[in-house]
Amino acid sequence: MAKKIAFVASEEPIARAALTTLAAAFGSVAEPEADVIVALGGDGFMLHTLHRTQSLDIPVYGMNRGTVGFLMNEYGVDDLMERLNAAEEEVINPLSMKAADRNGNIFQGLAINEVSLLRAGPQAAQLRITVDGRERLDLLVCDGALVATPAGSTAYNYSAHGPILPIGSDVLAITAVAAFRPRRWRGALIPKTAKVRIDVLNAEKRPVMAEGDGKAVRDVLWVEVRSEPAIAHRLLFDPGHGLEERLLREQFS
């Protein structure tokens, strides 16, 4: 079955060349008219595309013209229509982030992978973690902390020695970055429905920045994070190469 495709590409030359080739072979329509969006680039471009098109309710099929390409499929031209027809859909929900800075400004945003707090000065951050209104950790001395989704658990979360979460699991991961106190705290798994609040202690002396999918807020006082079930990102993968399989492979590599 022929599909109407909207091809989009990052600014990298290899991605732009792929866009030219594929658009010539299959044609390209405007995104609102498409049955599927084919994103050409790397994981960063895929995240950008998902955020930008979240109101369209159109599935996105990524083709790797970047580096890692964890969220992407292999690049190919000849059998693209067959691959799109056979592709399997996985739905993921982003995180909602609300943050306040020292000037009293409130910032809100969405993050597909994780929301992270990172020290922005020479001294370690001092954080307090509350889950659903109940204080769970009164003092975490660290380089930072993050809340990760299953889809983002192999990204920064995994680099910080956090757990890989199966796609479809109803949990989020809270992971410390280079924790100094408590020394043995390795993070926590919480229900997907929970709301996490992280307060920055001694914020003037120990400044902290918050970041979600590349968007940063400096000099934060507190950050609230929760899953956003009202927003669903639809990703397409070749059979046998979906996120669940990739997450399993990561754990045995």
| 74/92 Cα distance (integer angstroms) | 21
Query: CB–CB of 84/5 below 8 Å?
Result: yes
Which among 158, 170, 186, 177 is positioned nearest to 246, based on CA atoms?
Answer: 158
DSSP lists the bridge partners of residue 191 as: 171
238 is catalytic: no
Beta carbons within 8 Å of 191's beta carbon, 6+ residues apart: 170, 171, 172
Cα angle: 244, vertex 247, 177; to 5 degrees: 135
Which among 128, 149, 152 is positioned nearest to 70, based on CA atoms?
Answer: 152
| 187/161 Cα distance (integer angstroms) | 9
Which among 122, 140, 131, 143 is positioned nearest to 193, based on CA atoms?
Answer: 131
Which one of the listed residues 43, 101, 199, 213 is annotated catalytic?
43
Beta carbons within 8 Å of 178's beta carbon, 6+ residues apart: 142, 143, 144, 160
The residues annotated as belonging to the active site are: 43
